[in-house]
C-alpha cells in the first residue's frame, strides 16, 4: 500500500523469506508497501532497496532471505497498467489520478482492475444491480484489492468481504475507508470455505478453479439466490458445470481474453 509521501508505484523491491512471521506485516518504514503470504512463505515489498534493513529483520526474527528481486510496477502480477474504470454511472480511479468518483489504491495484490475477471465482475455486479437488485447484502469472496466490495458498497449494499491473504484484507479496508464506506463492510481474514453458510443477496466469487469446486461441493453454500463466479477459463467450464449442476443454473455468461464470468441462480431460494 501507499504510505507516507508515496503517491504512486514505480519500482518494486521484493525480499522473499523462508517462513511467515507476523512482524513482517508491521515493518516501520515509509518505503514499506506490504507483506504477501503464500504457501508458508512471505514476500515483503518496498519502494526502494532495503538490503541492510531486511538483513537485520531476518536476523532478529530467525528468518532467512531466500531471494531478492527488482521489478517494474507495470510488470508485476497480472500487469499493473492501472487506469480509471467506468462502470455504469460509477467511476473508479487510482489515487494518483485527479477527477470525480471513487478512489482506490491498487497495491500489489490481485484485483487492481486490469485483469479481465475483475473487469467482468465489476460490469456484471452493476448490471445485476439494475436488473435484479438492489441488493441489501453482497458477499465478496476473495476480495483482493477490494474493488468489487467498493462498487457494491457505493451502490448501497452492506458488504461481507473475505480473503486468505492478510494484505488483501488490509488493502480492502483502506480502499473502503478512502471513500468513507468502511462502515458498510465487514472485512475478514479467512479461508472463505469457513464462512459457509452465510446469507447474502448476491454472492461474488472471483476465485481459482479448485476453490470454486470446493465451494460448489458444499450444499450449505447454496442458501442464496444470486451468484457471480469468475476466475476460470473456457477449458475449465465442463468440470465446474458438473459440480454446479445439482444446485443452480447458469443464467448468464460472458468471456473476455479467455476468461469467463457466470451469473448463476439458485431457483429453489426465494
Where does residue 220 fall: left (phi above 0), alpha (psi -120 to 50 degrees), or beta otherwise?
Answer: alpha
What pLDDT does residue 245 have?
A: 87
CATH of domain 85-265: 3.40.50.150
What pLDDT does residue 267 have?
A: 83
Within 10 angstroms of residue 161's Cβ, the number of other Cβ atoms is 27
pLDDT in tens, 95-134: 999 999 999 999 999 888 889 999 999 999 999 999 999 9
| pLDDT higher than 70, residue 80 | no
What pLDDT does residue 268 have?
A: 82
| pLDDT higher than 70, residue 255 | yes
Task: For residue 177, report the phi and psi dihedrals to the nearest 5 degrees.
Answer: -65, -35
Helices (H) and strands (E) in the chain — how many of each?
Answer: 6, 14
What pLDDT does residue 153 have?
A: 98
pLDDT in tens, 213-240: 999 999 999 999 999 999 999 999 999 9
pLDDT in tens, 180-203: 999 999 999 999 999 999 999 999
Contact 103, 95 (CB under 8 A): yes
* Of the candidate ranges 15-24, 37-46, 129-138, the one whose mean pLDDT is the lowest: 37-46
Taking residues 23-37, report their average pLDDT. 95
The dihedral built from the CA positions of residue 141, 144, 149 and 151, taken in this order, carries a sign that is: negative
> Does the predicted TM-score (pTM) go above 0.85?
yes
What pLDDT does residue 24 have?
A: 96
What span, in angstroms and rounded, lies between the C-alpha atoms of 15 and 98?
A: 32
Where does residue 11 fall: left (phi above 0), alpha (psi -120 to 50 degrees), or beta otherwise?
Answer: beta
Fold entry, domain 11-75: Alpha-Beta Plaits (3.30.70)
What pLDDT does residue 154 have?
A: 98
Work out the angle at residue 126's Cα, subtended by the Cα atoms of residues 118 and 150, and round it to the nearest 5 degrees.
60
- Mean of per-residue pLDDT scores for the chain: 95
| pLDDT higher than 90, residue 76 | no
Cβ-count burial of 237 within 10 angstroms (0-12 exposed, 13-18 middle, 19+ buried)?
A: middle
CA distances from residue 56 to 4, 123, 136, 144 in whole angstroms, order as listed: 22, 46, 49, 30
Domain extents in the chain: 11-75, 85-265
What pLDDT does residue 17 have?
A: 96
Tell me the chain's radius of gyration from C-alpha atoms: 19
Place of cell 534493513: 53
What span, in angstroms and rounded, lies between the C-alpha atoms of 81 and 64?
A: 32
Taking residues 164-190, report their average pLDDT. 97
Q: Where are the beta strands (DSSP E) in the chain?
A: 11-17, 32-38, 41-46, 65-72, 85-87, 90-94, 102-104, 137-141, 158-163, 185-189, 202-206, 226-232, 249-256, 259-265
Amino acid at each position: 500500500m501507499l504510505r507516507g509521501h508515496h503517491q504512486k508505484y514505480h519500482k518494486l523491491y521484493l525480499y522473499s523469506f523462508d517462513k511467515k512471521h507476523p512482524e513482517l506485516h508491521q515493518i516501520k518504514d515509509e518505503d514499506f508497501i506490504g507483506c504477501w503470504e503464500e504457501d508458508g512463505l512471505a514476500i515483503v515489498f518496498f519502494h526502494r532497496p532495503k538490503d541492510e534493513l531486511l538483513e537485520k529483520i531476518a536476523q532478529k526474527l530467525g528468518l532467512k532471505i531466500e531471494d531478492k528481486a527488482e521489478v517494474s510496477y507495470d510488470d508485476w502480477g497480472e500487469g499493473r497498467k492501472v487506469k480509471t474504470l467506468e462502470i455504469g454511472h460509477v467511476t473508479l480511479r487510482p489515487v494518483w489520478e485527479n477527477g470525480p468518483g471513487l478512489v482506490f489504491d491498487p497495491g500489489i495484490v490481485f484485483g487492481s482492475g486490469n485483469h479481465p475477471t475483475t473487469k467482468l465482475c465489476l460490469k456484471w455486479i452493476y448490471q445485476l444491480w439494475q436488473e435484479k437488485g438492489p441488493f441489501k447484502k453482497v458477499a465478496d469472496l476473495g476480495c483482493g484489492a477490494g474493488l468489487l466490495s467498493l462498487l457494491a458498497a457505493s451502490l448501497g449494499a452492506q458488504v461481507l468481504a473475505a480473503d486468505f491473504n492478510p494484505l488483501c484484507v488490509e488493502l480492502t479496508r483502506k480502499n473502503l475507508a478512502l471513500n468513507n464506506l468502511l462502515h458498510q463492510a465487514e472485512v475478514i481474514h479467512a479461508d472463505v470455505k469457513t464462512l459457509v453458510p452465510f446469507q447474502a443477496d448476491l454472492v461474488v466469487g472471483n476465485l481459482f478453479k479448485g476453490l470454486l469446486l470446493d465451494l460448489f461441493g458444499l450444499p450449505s453454500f447454496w442458501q442464496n439466490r444470486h451468484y457471480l463466479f469468475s476466475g476460470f477459463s473456457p477449458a475449465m467450464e465442463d468440470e465446474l458445470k458438473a459440480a454446479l449442476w445439482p444446485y443452480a443454473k447458469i443464467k448468464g455468461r460472458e468471456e473476455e481474453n479467455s476468461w469467463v464470468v457466470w451469473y448463476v441462480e439458485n431457483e429453489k431460494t426465494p
